[in-house]
Amino acid sequence: MTKASPDVISRAGELRDLITEHNYQYYVLDDPGVPDAEYDRLFRELQELEAQYPDIVTPDSPTRRVGASAETTFEEVVHRIPMLSLDNAFSDEELRDFDRRVKDRLKTTDDIEYVCEPKLDGLAVSLHYESGILTRAATRGDGYTGEDITANIRTIPSVPLKLRGTNVPELVEVRGEVYMPRDGFEALNKRLADRGEKTFVNPRNAAAGSLRQKKPTVTARRPLEMCAYSVALEDESLLPATHWEGLQQVKDWGFRINPEMRKASGADACLQAYDELMDKRASLPYEIDGIVFKVNSLALQRQLGFVSRAPRWAIAQKFPAQEELTVIEDVEFQVGRTGAVTPVARLKPVFVGGVTVSNATLHNMDEIRRLDARIGDTVFVRRAGDVIPQVVKVVTERRPENARVVELPDACPVCQSDIVQIEGEVVARCSGGLFCPAQRKEAIRHYASRKALDIEGLGDKWIDILVDRELVNTVADLYLLKKADLTGLERMGEKSAGNLIDAIDRSRNPVLWKFIYALGIREVGEATAKALASHFGTLEAISEADEEALQSVPDVGPIVAGHIRSFFDQPHNQETIQALKAAGVQWQSEEITAAEKPLKGETWVLTGTLSDMTRDDAKAKLESLGAKVAGSVSKKTSCVVAGEAAGSKLTKAESLGVQVMDEQAFIDFLATHNIEP
């Protein structure tokens, strides 16, 4: 084995210091000092040096975080200084009682200064450093003995393997909470679910499970973080005067401390801190289950001492629980505005997350099968902040003999149309899109949108009013509206009513592809609607085509073909289409002669800003003449229409000798084909 030269040893030490400092800036200060690419370059350089010269590897090297291949043993560890638990307060009065007891024991009437710390919902750990190097990490356990998790702790980026600075005691213990941020928890559960593996109930459960992995390589892949909350020394004379100063010292050594920590004097200020943190709880990127109040003065802490297994100088005031046990009494299915059918658990009412919860989402049938949730089951229900309550776990040990399996209904509970679940899709949907009352507002909104039938003035507000007043139940009812129906509505005068009726009338003769798009068939966008219209020519031919025939159309695969077939198979949808015809809506056929498509086979490009029409309008006019409208210029481009501030596309067209029209020339060109701008 080649022995490392002094230069190599020096460079490796320099790299370790640089990487350690960058880790501190990134994980503790949230202020990266270098881009990720530069960090990666330094890390790779150190890896290569250590691979070439194994004798230079040190226990505190950042490369040692990735996790050893050997299994963790979880040997028993006896805490040199016990990790005591905290008493809890569950009300403002209990917190005031705690403050009174502190002042009574200290024989003072002065306000006591406390440090207010968010109570992170994770796993308490103890980290031992000798000469600044991490030598052992342990779980809290029963407060006196825990488990050795050193190999796993080393994988967490926010845990320093070597303490920063020069004022590091020979032997020091730093305590804190290992937790999993919300985003990391959700991503981890998604990965586990995608692989068909068991998911975690909550971030605390995920953090604990990740720390107790036998293989550190697994822990290294989990998004764990750590916040320090105290420092312990056998020689207390080395400690600063206050707990707050101790936290700042720990931060200087390279640990993250919680940015929400603050000082408060007296019970009223503590309760204010509680209320303000409670308000922020849902917006924090991590879970907290309360706030911890600690007497700031270490001298006063020593004077107050301990009782049983808890300190007299600290208390945790808990937030309302975010998880509770209850029973699924029934499962009902709700239909959303897009037709999605969602199972909802009707629960035995339970107080959770600060409110009484009687309903919780089960998301979809796949989730029900994953949970193996049945009517009658005892379940964990979770509510965090304003998040909709959800069932996260079933306690199968408590399942009664008469528990019932949940089945997806065949028909929509709102309109009785078929419920369809296309193979490969998670969500089941009601297929009565034009008729279903649960979907009517969304159906009308889409039908009237600019890219569909473009009914000017029929925005969300008026759709809500017309549907809520029961003036419009389906899109066909729009064409039955009279001016007198509208003038009595709030903020709808004679002129506005007349304008809306006129706009509805102008939509009676759409081109076929726009009408197909306006129907709101799932997965049928503009391009697919155009392809269907061009291929079949009439709506009747599309509605009668089987799935095999539909799949012969470009852009239409098995899933889209299934959606189209399901839509036209529903009698309610056919009835609404017939009602539209009866109301005078007549879509134009696509059976047009070649003479009416003078630009067929040509490719045009639009660039810049047009003043007399939108780009979408110009595109539609060109497509009506048979042209294909592309997004880039090439030698095959037939013509470029250049509006104001035309850029690189115009320059390229001129360099290739492609024909260019300004907006006025384009308007004149359209006029020769009887198309108004």
Average pLDDT over residues 178-199: 89
Same domain, 576 and 615: no
Say if pTM beats, i.e. exceeds, 0.85: no
Q: Which H, E and C letters describe 311-372, residue by residue?
A: ECCEEEEECCCCEEEEEEEEEEEEECCCCEEEEEEEEEEEEECCEEEEEEECCCHHHHHHHC
CB 546 within 8 A of CB 540: no
Same domain, 536 and 477: yes
86 annotated ligand binder: yes
Check residue 71 and give its pLDDT: 52
pLDDT confidence tier of residue 223, bands split at 50, 70 and 90? very high
Check residue 36 and give its pLDDT: 64
Given a cut of 80, whether residue 298 has pLDDT beyond it is: yes
- Burial class from Cβ neighbours inside 10 Å (0-12, 13-18, 19+) for residue 461 reads exposed
37 annotated ligand binder: yes
Which residue, chain included where needed, has tokens 């107790």? 212
CB 616 within 8 A of CB 649: no
Q: Which one is catalytic: 103, 119, 461, 621? A: 119
Please state the domain count of the chain.
Answer: 5
177 annotated ligand binder: yes
Check residue 531 and give its pLDDT: 86
289 annotated ligand binder: no
479 annotated ligand binder: no
Domain presence at residue 662: yes
CA atoms of 561 and 524, how far apart (whole Å): 9
Same domain, 473 and 603: no
Average pLDDT over residues 258-280: 95
CA atoms of 134 and 59, how far apart (whole Å): 8
Domain presence at residue 72: no
Who wins on pLDDT, 235 or 141?
141
> What does the DSSP assignment read for 278-318?
HHHGGGSSS-EEEEEEEESBHHHHHHH-EETTEETTEEEEE
Given a cut of 60, whether residue 29 has pLDDT beyond it is: yes
Which residue, chain included where needed, has tokens 């035995």? 348
CB 569 within 8 A of CB 521: no
Same domain, 575 and 606: no
436 annotated ligand binder: yes
Same domain, 465 and 335: no
CA atoms of 274 and 377, how far apart (whole Å): 36
pLDDT tens string 480-502: 999 888 887 877 778 888 899 99
Same domain, 553 and 639: no
597 annotated ligand binder: no
Boundary residue ending a domain (318, 333, 365): 318
User: Considering the chain, what is the average pLDDT of its residues?
Assistant: 87
Same domain, 178 and 201: yes
CA atoms of 381 and 325, how far apart (whole Å): 6
Check residue 181 and give its pLDDT: 93
505 annotated ligand binder: no
pLDDT tens string 553-566: 877 888 889 889 98
Domain presence at residue 71: no
85 annotated ligand binder: yes
Same domain, 154 and 272: yes
Same domain, 469 and 524: yes
Q: Which residues pair with 120 in a beta bridge?
A: 288
Q: What are the residues whose beta carbons fall under 8 Å from the beta carbon of 1, sequence distance 6 or more?
A: 53, 54, 55
Q: What's the CATH code of the domain at 41?
A: 1.10.287.610
Average pLDDT over residues 19-47: 73
pLDDT tens string 402-457: 999 999 999 999 889 889 887 777 889 898 888 888 888 889 999 999 889 999 98
Domain presence at residue 104: yes
User: Apex CA 525: angle with CA 524 and CA 527, to 5°?
Assistant: 110
Domain presence at residue 410: no
Who wins on pLDDT, 176 or 216?
176
pLDDT tens string 69-94: 445 567 888 888 888 888 888 889 99
430 annotated ligand binder: no
Check residue 594 and give its pLDDT: 42
Three-state secondary structure call for residue 259: coil
274 annotated ligand binder: no
Q: What's the CATH code of the domain at 365?
A: 2.40.50.140
> What does the DSSP assignment read for 192-236?
HHHTTPPPPSSHHHHHHHHHT-SSHHHHHTS--EEEEEEEE-SSG
Average pLDDT over residues 29-39: 67
Lowest-confidence segment of 98-107, 292-301, 350-359, 601-610 by average pLDDT:
350-359
Check residue 593 and give its pLDDT: 42
Q: Which residues pair with 325 in a beta bridge?
A: 380
Same domain, 105 and 124: yes
Lowest-confidence segment of 37-41, 388-392, 449-453, 658-662 by average pLDDT:
37-41
Given a cut of 80, whether residue 619 has pLDDT beyond it is: yes
Domain presence at residue 17: yes
117 annotated ligand binder: yes
Q: Which residues pair with 307 in a beta bridge?
A: 310
Q: What's the CATH code of the domain at 189?
A: 3.30.470.30
Same domain, 328 and 471: no
Question: Residue 385: which domain range?
Answer: 323-405
Same domain, 472 and 337: no
CA atoms of 448 and 476, how far apart (whole Å): 12
Domain presence at residue 588: no
* 119 given a catalytic annotation: yes
Q: Which H, E and C letters describe 74-124, residue by residue?
A: CCEEECCCCCCCCEEECCHHHHHHHHHHHHHHHCCCCCCEEEEEEEECCEE
53 annotated ligand binder: no
Average pLDDT over residues 251-278: 95
CA atoms of 608 and 79, how far apart (whole Å): 72
Domain presence at residue 138: yes
Given a cut of 80, whether residue 1 has pLDDT beyond it is: no
Give the residue among 257, 119, 115, 120 at the shortest CA–CA distance from 178. 120
pLDDT tens string 49-73: 888 888 888 877 887 765 444 455 6
In which region does residue 256 sit, left (phi positive, over 0), alpha (psi from -120 to 50) or beta (all else)? beta
